[in-house]
Structure formats: C-alpha cells, structure tokens
Structure 1
C-alpha cells in the first residue's frame, strides 16, 4: 500500500461520520464496507488483475497518516496475489470502476498482532477510504503461467476469432529490457490455422475481441520451443528471458470450414442479406472466377447483369464449390479455397430461389415432390453421377419417412404410393452405393426394403451383390436362393448364382492350398 512514514496527512476527524453511515459486512471475518460513490460499470476485478487505486488510511478514532492522493499518483498492485493485506484483496474484489468506499478492516485482515510500527500498533483496526481508479485485466491464457494477457483496452462486442479465421493485427515483440525483436505497426494479415512467428500470439488472439489491445508476457516454453530464435534478424531472445508482445486485434475475416476438415474454406468478404441460404434443389444465381495458385484464371461464370444459374447438389459445378455456395446468403461475397485441387474461387451469390417448405405442402404436393426428387436422382444415375444421385435418394427417403409415414392426412392409397416411392429410392440408392464401392451401405439399404417386403427380388439381388463384393458368401447364397424361389427364371439372379459358386470353389481351393502348405512345413 505504499511506504508509511511519520508525516501526518491533512488531519481530518471523520470518526463520528463513519459511525453514522450504515455498513455491510463482507465475508465472515469482520470486514465492513460503506459505498460513498457508486461505480460506473457492472464489472469487478478478478484475482490477478492489475489494480490502480487512490486511498487514505487512519487508525480507528485516529487521524489519516498515509495517502496516495498526496503522492500524486495511484497505488498499483495485483489483486489476490498477497501483495497487500488480506482486507484489501477481499474488499477491492467487490468494487467497480470509479467506485469510492470506506472499509473497516479488523486486525486479523490487516497487520494482526505484530502491526507495522511506528505508525500501526499491534491489533489495530484500520479505516481506509479507497477509490478504484481502474484496472487492467490479466489472464493466464495458457493455464500454467506460461502466457499472461494484460488487457490495455477492452474490445468491442462479444465475438472472438475462430481457428480458421484470417486476422489483421498490429504488434511489437520485445525483450523485457525493451529490445525490439519483431514488429508490424502498420498491420499484418494471416490465418490462425497457419499462425505468425510467435505461437503465443496465435493462442492469445483466439481470446480477443475486435479493437482489443493487450500486453502479453510469454515464458520461453511458449515463444519458440528452442533455446533462442532470430526474430526476422532483428534480435536474439535468450532462453531465460520473457517475451513481451504489445498486440492489437484490428479486425478479422470470418472463415467457414465447409467440409469440417479444413480442405474447403470459405472466407467472408462481404456479408449477405438475411439468414436464409440455398439448399439442395435451390436454383442459385451466381458469378464466380476460378483461379490456380499462381493466379491464372481457369474458369469464369456469370456477371451481375447475367448471373450463371444452376441447381444446387445436381453436379453441375465443382462439388466443393457447390457446398460452399449453400452456406452463403443473398448478396454475400466470399473466396473459397479448395486445398485438394489447389484452386481458389472468388464468388458472389447474386440470388437464389428455395423450394417450397415441405411442411407447407398438401398431400398431393408432397408426393409430387418425392417423385420429382426420385426422377432427378434417376437422371443423375444415368449420367454416372452416383454420389449426387445417392444424395437425392437419401433426401427422398428422409422426406417420405419423416413427413409421409407419420402424416395422418394421407389416405391408404396415398400411403401405399409413398411407401412404394420410399422403397424404390432405397433400391436406387443401393445401386449407387454399389457403383461407388460402399458395399456395407448398399446392404443396409436393401435390408430396409426386405424388412418391409421380404420377397423383393431386386433387394435380395442387390444385397447379394454387396455380400459377394465383401466375400460374405454364405449370406449371399441365402439371398440368391430366396430370390430364385420367388423368381426361378430371373436371368440376372442365375448369373449371380454361377458367380457365387465360382467364388466358393476358388475359396475352397485357396483353403486347400493353404492347408497343404502348412502340412509340408510341418513335415
């Protein structure tokens, strides 16, 4: 609390005033507080924060003997770190910025039985008049004391950058004695996925808000990972020295991880309108330019006057770009980076038309919508676009199951038609899965049909195909024999039966060969 000395401070007798003021107790050890002036914020400091206060202090029924006001500057300390008496740590934790209060601090929360002679006798109760001028929030953002963040200026809003976002910052990195190692006072932009020079800076930025200014104190384990480092040739930081970084987060560009694996990243350049975005089947109107890493343009579609139109999830454009567009809003401008193809798209979603919400359709419209989706899937299948066709069939099956099976407004004929559509889509989807080698998924699709219709020859046939591809020959034989019982003259099933028998024969020969080899080695 500053150096106490024998100098008397502006003799003020306010003992009687204190007795007239109502007090409230803080904790259970006798600390009492009376607010003289309310603060101008709802926030209170946290342990570890750097506090600036003005104070006056006197003994109970005595005169003031120390004051920061007379010294011309506030007293600074870290809250909750044992740098001041316990009564201060507990009392100031309840104060707000610009608040003034009188604290009555008993000996057990002050200087106790020993006191602080010559000014504070043993077992003294102290009366402090304290003004909380301000504080700098200090946070241990590494959780182990490796990186401390002191907030110099609070940021705006509540949002903070995500791992994939691209940030614009200013910073100066230096040693504790002020030697500059690296600086970008005009600002530098980089992706948090890649980071920039100091790992601690990347870690801190994730906790910052727009416009926030901080001072980082970084221990050696968190700035390089090595004993020393040449900061862009500007200076050398020794292994036993802390790194000090003055950092300002100017702004950031929101980046969306479209596929969830950082392989398709959409960076927001201009915010769109509203909250709606295209979905599968939406007619999107776009303009975009595709570029290679070296900036060479390889594709250009549409303009503001005549945008390029396409149907989402129909395989008409690059699939990754299509998925990115379906995260956009009308009027939004963005760049989409596709790392697997090493390309970048500059794109604007000019407009789009969404399908009528399914829950707003009557029964006839629902059936027609399912039929339409199925037919669109069939076209995609014929064109060899099996992945997009599979998604169409998935959509139709989900709609039929969710909105038709449990919709009591359907009559018996409509329900039969809906179930026929659903089973047809399961079978078609199984055909797609077989084409792309997803045999387990194909068998599951067929099993859903067989649960409803145990004698469905197509379902038995395609499930047998899936079993053959994964060498589950016994299961394949059961399905084939069942299909032949239902349709003995089915040519495709007969051909598969021969294929299955050949596989069984080859497998038996393979087992004999392995057994003979084992016997020869034993002999």
Structure 2
C-alpha cells in the first residue's frame, strides 16, 4: 500500500469530493454488549461492538471527529488503514465528507469505543465502486476506533454562528439574559487579520458587546468554557462592516469573523418580583441548596445605599453581631424580605429595590442617613445563617393545629390593620397546614374543620377587599362543601357573584341565606343592593333591546315599498 493513498471513503475514483452524500438521518440509539452485533437504521448497516467507550456522550452532526480505522472487503482483503500510516483520520461528521455508512455509524460511538461496521454498497460506493481497490456493489467492513471529537454547534440553527469547543467548561449552568458575564475574546478576519482583543471585559448578556454573536454564544457556554466561533455577517457587522476605532481594526462589509471566546465567570441576576422592581445580583454563590422559608430566623450582614452611594444602614460589620430578623414579619422592607428567602447560606448579593418594595413615598430616617421619598435603594447582603420555620411535615397533628391557629390569629391582626395581602397569605398557610387530616383523631378533625372553615371565610373576606372575586367565590364554595348551611359563606359568595355580574347566582345564595337566618341584617342589606343592581340591568336590557328592534324596524321600512306596513313586534319576544 502506498503512503499517499487517499482513504476511499472520502474521495471518489477521480479524487474529487463526493457531492451526492447528504447527511444521514438520525436513527434510534443502539445499545450493545461487547461481541454483540445489531442493525442500525433500516438500510442494512450493522455494528458489532469490539470495545466499550467512556461516558455516555456521542458526537453529533457538525462535530470534528478523529478516528483510527482499517477497511476490508468481506473476503478479508485490506484496502486501507490509518493505523498502517500511523496517523489518525479527522473529518466533520454529517457533512457528506465520508460515505453514508460512516456518517451514520460513528454518531453511535462513545469516546474510545472500538466497533466493526458492516456497510452495504448502498451506503458505501454503490454500483460504481472505487476501482481498482473496491469492486462494484461491494459490502465493506471497517474496524473503527473513535479517539476523540471536538464539538461544533450551529447555535442559532441557521448557519450564522458555528461554535467549536476547544476547552470544556464546568458544571451545567449557562448565563441568562440578565446575567453579567466576564469574558476574554480575540476577533480575526478569515485571512487572520486581528480586529479586536480584550482580556476581562464584563457586560450584561441581553445588552451584548462588540457584535451580536458574543451574547448569542455566551448563553450556550459554561463557566471556564473556551470556544472558536465562525460568525457570518448577519451576526457580525453585516453589509455595512465596521470602521476602525481606537484599538479595534476595520471589519469589511459582509465579512465572516473568527472569534476566540472564553467565559471566565458570570454574576447571576434575577427578578425577585414579577414586576421586576426587586432585582438580585449574586456576587458570591452560597452553599448547598437549602434556603430560608417564610417565618425563618435569618442572620445577615447588610449595607444599605442610596443611588448616589450614600450609606444609610450598616449592620453586622466592624466586629458587630450579624443583624437578625424573622422573615415575613415586616421586620424589614418588603423587597429585602422577599429577596432573603431566595438566598443560600454564605451567598453574597446586591439587591436593587424600587420604592414600592422599599420605603415608599415618605421620608424614612435610618441608622446613618435619611432615605428621601420615592427612593430606589440597594443593599449588599450576605446571608450568614438561618433557622427555618418548622415545615408541616416535621409537625405532629397537634402541632399542626396549634400552628394553624397561630397563623389565623396573625392573619386577623393584619386584616384589622388593612393589610389584606399579608392577611390572606396567613390564612392560606393556616389552611394548608391542616389540609390533609387523614391521620387526625376525631377531636382533632373537628378542630381542623373549624379552623379550615374560619380561615377560608376570612381569606374570602380578604379577596373581596382585594377585588379578587373569582378567588373569593372559590373559597366560599370550599366552605359550603364542608358546611352547606354556612350563612357567611353564602353571603360572601353572593357578594362575589354580584361583583362579577352573576346576579341570578347571587340571588340564589342570598335567598338560601335568608331561609337559614331570616333576621340576618347584613344579608338583608346585600339583598337590597342586589335588587337595585337587577333593576339597573333590566333597564339596560330594555333599552338595548328597544334600540335593537327600532333599528330592525327602520331597516325594514327603508327596504320595503311604502304601501306595505312593517311587521308587528311580538311582545313575548
């Protein structure tokens, strides 16, 4: 065999790249034991496992693979071997650079795996063969070892950015849009001309940096990962290109860029509230996975600042004890309360809190400075330690009943203070503690039922105050499933129905409540309100239908001959 022999699975008999080799469709994964042989796909390709590989990953289309192989005919005649040449063979998988049997078979291999592929002519050289070494319609066998591969991904799925991983990253997380990433990069044109280079630049992913490709790429990367990007113009500088400026060179119009990018680290940024008015940026990751719950006792180090940098609060520093408070008890501002229960022990973060979750529209005198009205404030916070409030699954039945009663009383206190959201949360917690009572004794079941009825009714009152009428109706219905003659539940459900304009259902509830308690003053007052509402709607309906029929008559008049009288209206209609 000559040293310069070209591997026949790559080139045809004229030495040209084969242009009729489409990417082979994916087939289900094949699991084999050493010595076992199975068919891959439905076209006769067979694989026999000679040696198991490492891990679980296999290469994908676009990856650059490196293999050793020996190719033989079925009679054992050897026609090529990279092993004989002492040089591994590299190619891009799934791009038609090799015969179809290779493109398909090697995708099933793990790193270090050795397998024997039996490839029918249809997936090799077909009728033409590759004279003089490979006859027409020849079935081939390849002993292949997958040495390694470099992952190459089409990260936008449009061919605009190809990412080749040259150094794997750590763990599994990727940065998100709000996160602040720290990267190193080097940008070159296809001819190798250096355009830009930066060591240690930080930017927010969604805002991007240099060109659109950087933010697209970092969202697919892990900490410490290093990649080479091939960037088409649409993710670079497009038709306009880029003029030279400062230390950065010119990028011609429609230029493809080669970018070496390394993701050193990132700070995770997240919205604590759905309206994005409390934002947390993690400076140092915490330990483990546990976080404080509502009612936990937490110890923190805390520095509060105004937007101009003025410190208005400092606790837990300068040899002082950490600041201790109980969550969900209004010991601190709402934004801080909500944020601390998302933290892990040892975590350090910056919180940005807008006035709605901070000190509001009034001036607030703090430890070191005054917080002006409508101030957005920030806190640097470290969660030193915490003791979680006891969870329901850690309580016995009597403890659950006692805890539910305590939560109910806390809810009542908040309700009297006009803090309906906080009150509702307490009632919900109380009801949840005793929701499942299958393990309760008879007396405990009675206590639990009374608490559930009371908490759901009180919660319904909160929802009415908060104008959440659908939820109020559901809570009252839950009570009526337990006590069908509960007047308060009928009364409050009727109020909810009135506010969502279900007047017929409201009337049914009020009439039933008056049957049970004919002298109930509140129900009687609500019945008057309902009757007034019904009168208003009857007037509106009469006016609406009157106008509708009038328009109908007018249209018939204009359409009919003058001597024909309009059709009389049925009074029952």
Q: What is the aligned partner in structure 2 of residue 491 from structure 1?
A: 521
Shift of residue 442, structure 1, vs aligned partner? 1.1
Out of 197, 202, 223, the position equivalent to 2:215 is 202
Q: What is the aligned partner in structure 1 of residue 242 from structure 2?
A: 230
Please tell me whether the aligned partners of residues 47 and 115 of structure 2 are also in contact (alpha carbons under 8 angstroms): no
Inter-CA distance 33–519: structure 2 relative to 1 (3 Å threshold): closer
Out of 378, 382, 398, the position equivalent to 2:432 is 398
Please tell me whether the aligned partners of residues 57 and 67 of structure 1 are also in contact (alpha carbons under 8 angstroms): no
Q: Out of 173-182 and 52-61, give the one that drifted further.
A: 52-61
Inter-CA distance 472–128: structure 2 relative to 1 (3 Å threshold): closer
1:261-312 alpha-carbon deviations (Å, 9 max, x no partner): 7554433222334432221222223343344555455655655734333332
Out of 317, 325, 334, the position equivalent to 1:319 is 334
Shift of residue 103, structure 1, vs aligned partner? 9.7
Inter-CA distance 169–457: structure 2 relative to 1 (3 Å threshold): same
Classify the secondary structure of the residue corresponding to 2:302.
Answer: strand
Shift of residue 427, structure 1, vs aligned partner? 1.0
1:116-173 alpha-carbon deviations (Å, 9 max, x no partner): 67xx586699999988775422122223323211112222334433444332211123
Q: What is the aligned partner in structure 2 of residue 152 from structure 1?
A: 166
Inter-CA distance 458–174: structure 2 relative to 1 (3 Å threshold): same
Inter-CA distance 53–417: structure 2 relative to 1 (3 Å threshold): closer
Out of 165, 169, 184, the position equivalent to 1:170 is 184
Q: What is the aligned partner in structure 2 of residue 374 from structure 1?
A: 408
Shift of residue 97, structure 1, vs aligned partner? 6.4
Classify the secondary structure of the residue corresponding to 1:401.
Answer: coil
Shift of residue 498, structure 1, vs aligned partner? 2.6
Instruction: Structure 2 unaligned segments of length 5 or more: list them.
Output: 7-34, 357-375, 555-573
Report how many aligned residue pairs link the two structures. Answer: 495
Instruction: Structure 1 unaligned segments of length 5 or more: list them.
Output: 6-22
Classify the secondary structure of the residue corresponding to 1:440.
Answer: helix
Classify the secondary structure of the residue corresponding to 1:369.
Answer: helix
Partners of 1:471 and 1:239 lie apart in 2 by 63
Q: Out of 73-82 and 474-483, give the one that drifted further.
A: 73-82
Shift of residue 416, structure 1, vs aligned partner? 1.3
Q: What is the aligned partner in structure 2 of residue 385 from structure 1?
A: 419
Partners of 1:407 and 1:62 lie apart in 2 by 75
Q: What is the aligned partner in structure 2 of residue 20 from structure 1?
A: none
Classify the secondary structure of the residue corresponding to 2:239.
Answer: coil
Classify the secondary structure of the residue corresponding to 2:435.
Answer: helix
Please tell me whether the aligned partners of residues 182 and 232 of structure 1 are also in contact (alpha carbons under 8 angstroms): no
Please tell me whether the aligned partners of residues 91 and 97 of structure 2 are also in contact (alpha carbons under 8 angstroms): yes
Q: Out of 385-394 and 164-173, give the one that drifted further.
A: 164-173
Shift of residue 364, structure 1, vs aligned partner? 2.6
Inter-CA distance 106–368: structure 2 relative to 1 (3 Å threshold): closer
Please tell me whether the aligned partners of residues 278 and 325 of structure 1 are also in contact (alpha carbons under 8 angstroms): yes
Partners of 2:524 and 2:37 lie apart in 1 by 91
Q: What is the aligned partner in structure 2 of residue 139 from structure 1?
A: 153
Q: What is the aligned partner in structure 1 of residue 24 from structure 2?
A: none
Q: Does 1:438 align with 2:468?
A: yes
Shift of residue 361, structure 1, vs aligned partner? 2.8
Q: What is the aligned partner in structure 1 of residue 391 from structure 2?
A: 357
Q: Out of 241-250 and 132-141, give the one that drifted further.
A: 132-141
Shift of residue 497, structure 1, vs aligned partner? 2.6
Out of 343, 350, 368, the position equivalent to 1:328 is 343
Please tell me whether the aligned partners of residues 443 and 467 of structure 1 are also in contact (alpha carbons under 8 angstroms): yes
Shift of residue 248, structure 1, vs aligned partner? 0.7
Q: Out of 146-155 and 307-316, give the one that drifted further.
A: 307-316
What TM-score comes out, normalization by structure 2 length? 0.71
Q: Does 1:188 align with 2:201?
A: yes
Please tell me whether the aligned partners of residues 45 and 117 of structure 2 are also in contact (alpha carbons under 8 angstroms): no
Q: What is the aligned partner in structure 2 of residue 462 from structure 1?
A: 492
Q: Out of 86-95 and 143-152, give the one that drifted further.
A: 86-95
Q: Out of 430-439 and 351-360, give the one that drifted further.
A: 351-360
